[in-house]
Amino acid sequence: MTPMLKKILLGLLAVFLLIQLVRPARNNGQAATTNDITHTVPVPDTVLKLLQTSCYDCHSNHTNYPWYARISPVSIWLGNHVTEGKHELNFSEARTYTAKKLRHKLVEIEEQVEQEEMPLKSYVLIHGDARLTKAQAALIIAWANTSKTALDSLK
């Protein structure tokens, strides 16, 4: 091994070790709160279970972190991913949304699930149980549509 290659490898090792000191905040709140989606629109148990398995890690106030989430830069990537997911939709805070905003989120749920954009492919690669079958996706889409219609009738 050349001296230059050794320096590069040692430099990379030093960067890897230093980046381990970066610890993003963890999403360890309660998923089910008084502001949860279940207190806003009816959510059948079958749909709730699917949402919890396939969506809540990124779209609620509680994430179940895998062991590798303690290793940077993965921890940083996951932290950013969860922050972005909660910004887009947070099932734990759905009751704080206006009816118009919640209706829009329900439309987005329908579209994202129907187009197989959610759950993310990178997520289901590692979390196989989060992969939705066609029937499970249809259940979520039907629930979102029914919930959207129920919100419309409240106007």
Residue pLDDT, tens place only, 91-100: 999 999 999 9
Identify the weakest region by mean pLDDT among 40-49, 58-67, 104-113, 138-147.
58-67
* Residue pointed to by tokens 């998923």: 31
pTM of the predicted model as reported, rounded to 2 decimal places: 0.83
Query: Residue 62 forms beta bridges with which residues?
Result: 28
How open is the CA angle 144-148-150, to the nearest 5 degrees?
Answer: 120
Query: What's the rounded Cα separation, in Å, for the pair 66 and 80?
Result: 15
Paired tokens of 40: 């806003």
Calpha distance 45→30 (Å, rounded): 18
Question: How far from each other are the two terminal CA atoms of the chain, in whole angstroms?
Answer: 73
Q: What pLDDT, on a 0 to 100 scale, did the predictor assign at position 24? A: 73
